[in-house]
C-alpha cells in the first residue's frame, strides 16, 4: 500500500502529473470573486466562507477523473485488481494520494485565500480546521465517483454530476463552521458533524468504490 501511495505521489509531481493545478484553480477563483462582487470588505467577508468552500469543492473535482482513469487506460488497474493488495485498500490509498496532492495544499494555503476575501481573522482557525476535516471526505467521495465512471468516454462530466450532490453535507457543515467563526461564535458543533461525515465516508466508501471498480473491470 505504501508502494502505491509513493508511486501516485511521485507521478503527481512528475511532468504532466497535475500537482498544484487544484491549488492554482482555487487561487484564481478567490481572485476572481472580488473582481465580480466588488471590493467592499463587508460584502466579501459575508460570502467568504461559502466562496472558499465552493472553491475547494471545485478545485478538488478538477483532478478527480485522474484517480482511476489513467490506471485503467494503461492496464495498471487490471494488474492492481489481481494483486495481493485488496481493491478496497487500493481505493483508500489512491484517495489518500489525491488528498495529499489536492486537499492538503488547499488546507495549508487557505489562510492566504481567506485574506484575499476579507475573511475576519477570528474565522481563520475555523477555516483551516474545517477544510482539514472536510477535504478527506471530498477525495474519498470523488474516488467513488471516479470508480463508477471509469472506462466511460467523457466520464468526467458525468462524474461531476454524480459527485457534487454527495458533497452537499460536507459543504453545509464546513461553511457553517467558518461562518460561525467569522461571526465571533463557536463553530464546534458543525465541525464535529463535519468530522462525523468524513469518518462515515472513509469507513463505507472504499467498499462501494471497490465494488464499482470490479463491475467496471469486467
Partner 1 sequence: MEPLLSVRGLAVSRGGRRAVEGVDFTLSAGQALILRGPNGIGKTTLLRTVAGLQPPAAGQVEADPDAIAYAAHADGLKAALTVAENLEFWRLVFGGPPIAAAIQAMDLGALVQRPAAMLSAGQKRRLGLARLLVTGRRVWVLDEPTVSLDAGSVALFADAVRGHLAQGGAALMATHIDLGLPEAQVLDLGPFRAVGAPLRSRAPASFDEAFG
Nearer to partner 1, 30 or 77 (CB): 77
Please tell me what DSSP assigns to residue 65: T
Nearer to partner 1, 71 or 176 (CB): 71
What residues between 10 and 69 interact with partner 1 by CB under 8 A? Answer: 10-11, 14-17
Q: In which element (H, E) is residue 42 found?
A: helix 41-62
114 contacts 127 by C-beta, under 8 angstroms: yes
Contacts of 74 (CB under 8 A, 6+ apart): none
C-alpha cell at 46: 459575508
Q: Does 108 interact with partner 1 (rule: CB under 8 A)?
A: no
Q: Does 186 interact with partner 1 (rule: CB under 8 A)?
A: no
Least spacing, CB of residue 213 vs partner 1, in Å: 11
C-alpha cell at 157: 462530466
Provide the angle, in degrees to the nearest 10, between the axes of the packed helices 124-149 and 188-217: 20
Contacts of 2 (CB under 8 A, 6+ apart): none
Counting residues that bind partner 1 (by CB under 8 A) gives 24
| One of 45, 47, 81, 158 touching partner 1 (CB under 8 A) | 81
Least spacing, CB of residue 108 vs partner 1, in Å: 24
Measured in residues, the chain has a length of: 218
Q: Does 217 interact with partner 1 (rule: CB under 8 A)?
A: yes
Nearer to partner 1, 78 or 186 (CB): 78
Q: Does 153 interact with partner 1 (rule: CB under 8 A)?
A: no
Nearer to partner 1, 17 or 111 (CB): 17
102 contacts 59 by C-beta, under 8 angstroms: yes
Nearer to partner 1, 97 or 175 (CB): 97
Least spacing, CB of residue 66 vs partner 1, in Å: 12
| One of 32, 40, 73, 115 touching partner 1 (CB under 8 A) | 73
4 contacts 94 by C-beta, under 8 angstroms: yes
C-alpha cell at 72: 485503467
Nearer to partner 1, 47 or 85 (CB): 85
Q: Does 74 interact with partner 1 (rule: CB under 8 A)?
A: yes
Contacts of 123 (CB under 8 A, 6+ apart): 48, 49, 114, 178, 179, 181, 182
- Which spans of this chain sit near partner 1 (rule: CB under 8 A)? 2-4, 7, 10-11, 14-17, 73-76, 78-85, 217-218
Amino acid at each position: 500500500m505504501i508502494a502505491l501511495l509513493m508511486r501516485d505521489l511521485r507521478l503527481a509531481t512528475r511532468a504532466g502529473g497535475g500537482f498544484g493545478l487544484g491549488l492554482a484553480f482555487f487561487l484564481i477563483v478567490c481572485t476572481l470573486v472580488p473582481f465580480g462582487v466588488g471590493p467592499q470588505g463587508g460584502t466579501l467577508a459575508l460570502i467568504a466562507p461559502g466562496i472558499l468552500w465552493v472553491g475547494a469543492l471545485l478545485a478538488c473535482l478538477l483532478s478527480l477523473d485522474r484517480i482511476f482513469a489513467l490506471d485503467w487506460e494503461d492496464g495498471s488497474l487490471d494488474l492492481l485488481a489481481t494483486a495481493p493488495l485488496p481493491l478496497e485498500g487500493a481505493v483508500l490509498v489512491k484517495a489518500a494520494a489525491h488528498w495529499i496532492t489536492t486537499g492538503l495544499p488547499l488546507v495549508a494555503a487557505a489562510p492566504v485565500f481567506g485574506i484575499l476575501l476579507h475573511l475576519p481573522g477570528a474565522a481563520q482557525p475555523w477555516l483551516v480546521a474545517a477544510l482539514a476535516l472536510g477535504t478527506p471526505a471530498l477525495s474519498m467521495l470523488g474516488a467513488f465517483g471516479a470508480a463508477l465512471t471509469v472506462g466511460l468516454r467523457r466520464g468526467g462530466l458525468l462524474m461531476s454530476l454524480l459527485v457534487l450532490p454527495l458533497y452537499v453535507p460536507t459543504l453545509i457543515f464546513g461553511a457553517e463552521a467558518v461562518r460561525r467563526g467569522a461571526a465571533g461564535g463557536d463553530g464546534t458543533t458543525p465541525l464535529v458533524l463535519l468530522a462525523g461525515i468524513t469518518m462515515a465516508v472513509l469507513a463505507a466508501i472504499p467498499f462501494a468504490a471497490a465494488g464499482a471498480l470490479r463491475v467496471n473491470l469486467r
